[in-house]
Amino acid sequence: MSPTFEVPFSHPEAQRLIRAAYGEVRSGRTVKIETATRHFVTDHWDGGSREECRFVRLADGAALPADALPATARQREGNPLGLARGEIALADGYAFVLHVIFQGKDLGYRILLHPANVAPWLTAAPAVELTERERSLLNVFATYVSSYRKPELARMNATPAEIDALVVRGLLARNAKGAIACTPAGKAAGKGRTYLP
């Protein structure tokens, strides 16, 4: 499986690539970064879902739409309209920037990088070591609404000290009223991903 990590939308390099591909856009979601050498492009609507794809040259930020997919890479069988659909190799020095919409819901952006281009992103990545228990606690905060979270934490026999330790590490946040929520770093760590601030 390819390494996956997340960055906030405000991350300068992620923002540079996304804006090169799609112009002045905004998102409250984290951006998923993955390494890949090939990707199957399906840049068309299908059942309310779409994975809009742009190719961005890392050196100068020049962007190409998925329509630039070479005819030799386009799927012929089951594609009578000649849609931008087919497998393409990701060359060193380029990124695939994907805007993912699944059944009408905007899931944000994904950036696929060639393995040779991912090293500069990882140099600033803090290693988050979690026990299975800590990962389970983070997943409770990330997935349950507060009314269901309390019984689940009670079932797990979670102690205030365990939760405070996750707050101190920046994986959970406590507001002025004492409510606790999962931070973007905590959500990523709970999924086994790295979060770059």
d(CA 183, CA 98): 24
- For position 173, which CATH number holds? 1.10.10
Same domain? 144 vs 114: no
Give the model's pLDDT for residue 1: 41
This prediction has a pTM of 0.61
Same domain? 111 vs 146: no
User: Which is nearest to 7 in space by CA: 128, 156, 148, 125?
Assistant: 125
Beta bridge partners of 7: 31
Count other Cβ atoms within 10 Å, centred on residue 121. 20
Residue 161 lies in a domain: yes
Give the model's pLDDT for residue 67: 61
Same domain? 87 vs 174: no
Taking a C-beta distance cutoff of 8 angstroms, is the pair 191, 1 a contact? no
Same domain? 114 vs 162: no
Residue 127 lies in a domain: no
User: Which is nearest to 187 in space by CA: 94, 121, 113, 108?
Assistant: 108
Q: Which domain holds residue 164?
A: 132-195
Which of 122, 156, 186 corresponds to the end of one domain? 122
The pLDDT tens digits for 71-122 are: 555 555 555 555 666 677 777 888 888 888 888 888 888 898 888 887 776 6
Give Cβ neighbours of residue 29 (< 8 Å, ≥ 6 apart): 9, 106, 107, 108, 109
Q: Is 196 helix (H, G, I), strand (E, B) or coil?
A: coil
- Looking at the 3D structure of the chain, how many domains does it have? 2
Q: How far is CA 181 from the centre of its chain?
A: 19
State in Å, rounded, how far the first CA of the chain is from the last one.
23
Same domain? 139 vs 163: yes
Report residues of the chain scoring pLDDT below 50. Answer: 1
Same domain? 68 vs 16: yes
Same domain? 18 vs 106: yes
Same domain? 33 vs 114: yes
d(CA 43, CA 30): 21
d(CA 184, CA 172): 9
